[in-house]
């Protein structure tokens, strides 16, 4: 499954990069495949593994501030693996060129 998530501290000012960095340490330590983008992080893995990482990220940011909003978007397709790379490659084939990543 692919899961895109973002963890947003509330009331901590405009820059959230210290919180993003803290979450990415957790993501990196998980060993799951991932990609970051300007609006969140995409994880690939089994449901329990992915949701466990998201929970750890949410709870870590909760330790750092009094209010957190965590958004999660799930793409779960039976019988498909390596979706993180395959989805991008499929679109690039249709466009006819490599796209910016």
Predicted confidence pLDDT, tens digits, the chain (101 residues): 999 999 999 988 888 999 999 999 999 999 999 999 999 999 999 999 999 999 999 999 999 999 999 999 999 888 766 677 777 788 888 888 887 76
| pTM of the predicted structure, to 2 decimals | 0.86
Q: Is residue 100 part of a domain?
A: no
Q: Which segments within the chain are labelled E, that is strand?
A: 2-9, 33-37, 40-44, 68-75
By the 8 A CB rule, do 16 and 8 touch? Answer: yes
Q: Is residue 59 part of a domain?
A: yes
Give me the phi and psi of 70, to 5 degrees please.
Answer: -115, 125
Q: Is residue 101 part of a domain?
A: no
For residue 101, the Cα-to-chain-centroid distance in whole angstroms is 15
Q: Quote the domain boundaries for residue 13.
A: 2-95
Q: Is residue 43 part of a domain?
A: yes
- How far is it, in rounded angstroms, from Cα 38 to Cα 40? 6
Q: How many domains does the chain have?
A: 1
Domain of 62, CATH number, reads 3.30.70.930
């Amino acid at each position: 499954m692919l899961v895109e998530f973002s963890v947003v501290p509330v009331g901590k000012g405009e820059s959230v990069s210290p919180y993003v960095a803290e979450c990415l340490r957790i993501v990196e330590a998980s060993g799951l495949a991932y990609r970051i983008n300007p609006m969140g992080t995409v994880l690939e893995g089994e449901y329990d593994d992915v949701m466990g990482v998201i929970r750890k990220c949410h709870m870590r940011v909760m330790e750092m501030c009094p209010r957190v909003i965590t958004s999660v978007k799930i793409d779960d397709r039976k019988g498909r693996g390596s979706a993180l790379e395959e989805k991008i490659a499929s679109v690039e084939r249709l466009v006819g060129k490599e796209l910016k990543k």
